[in-house]
Amino acid sequence: MNKKFKYYAIVWAILLAVFNVICFVTPGEAAGMSKFGGAFWAGYIFITIAFIGQLVCAYIALKTDDKTKLFYNIPIIRISYTGLILTVVFGALCMAIPNLPNWVGIIVCVLVLAFTAIAVIKAKAASDVVENIDKKVKAQTMFVKSLTVDAESLLARAKNGEAKAACSKVFEAVRYSDPISNDALAGIESQITLKFNEFSNAVTSNADTISTLADELVILIGDRNKKCKLLK
């Protein structure tokens, strides 16, 4: 149990305890009628179910330590909390009106809980979809991001003017490349990786092939960008 949910559960337990105290400490009769009728128990049971459901939703939303996932799960907490408030309001009305027909209280509370459950399920589904899209985008942009970092690092390590000029040319080509990759680009991206490693070794050893390798690398990067446009 992480700390966020632990603190949330403590607050939840306090609120549930306060609800029970109010239910059973207040006078048992009103206008000569016992409050512990069918409507009272219907309201009490449904409010308790709403409390438990809200705690389950909070656990689902807060169990992760990933800040991005927590952000995506905020609607789940908000919707379940709203459902709890509505159930408490309507359930309290059922409990406070002794002569209210049982079926009225049951139907109202069932509708509130049903709509809340549907909304929570939709929010969770939407959260999962957005999370999967985010993961896909991160995976698709990893190649260019990684290559940009490597090119910038290589530029800083260049030993002379020719090497710096070649590294700068490669860095600018990578920096302004289309960031979104695609499975269809795996072949050319593999070629770029191999060529970049060859270029990096040439820069490190101050070889005579630096400029030639830089030109070849820029051409490969340009070919990749053209293919990116065709795939969109």
pLDDT in tens, 162-199: 889 999 999 999 999 988 888 888 899 999 999 999 99
Are 115 and 223 in the same domain? no
Provide the residue range defining the domain that includes 187: 158-230
Burial class (CB in 10 A: 0-12, 13-18, 19+), 70: middle
Q: What does the chain come to in residues?
A: 232
Please, which pLDDT band fits residue 24 given cuts at 50, 70 and 90?
Answer: confident
**Tokens 């070889």 appear where?**
207
**Whether residue 203 sits in one domain with residue 90:** no
Q: Does residue 131 sit within a domain?
A: yes
Q: Are 91 and 75 in contact (CB under 8 A)?
A: no
Read off the pTM.
0.67
Same domain, 130 and 17: yes
71 and 183 co-located in one domain? no
- My answer on whether 120 and 14 are in the same domain is yes
| Whole-number Å distance between alpha carbons of 224 and 230 | 10
Task: Give me the phi and psi of 222, to 5 degrees please.
Answer: -65, -40
Q: What percent of the chain has pLDDT over 90?
A: 39
Reading the block at residue 76, the tokens are: 């789940």
Could you tell me which of 130, 150, 120, 138 has the C-alpha nearest to residue 56? Answer: 120
Domain count within the chain: 2
Average pLDDT for the chain: 87
103 and 213 housed in the same domain: no
Q: Is residue 44 part of a domain?
A: yes
Amino acid at 218: V
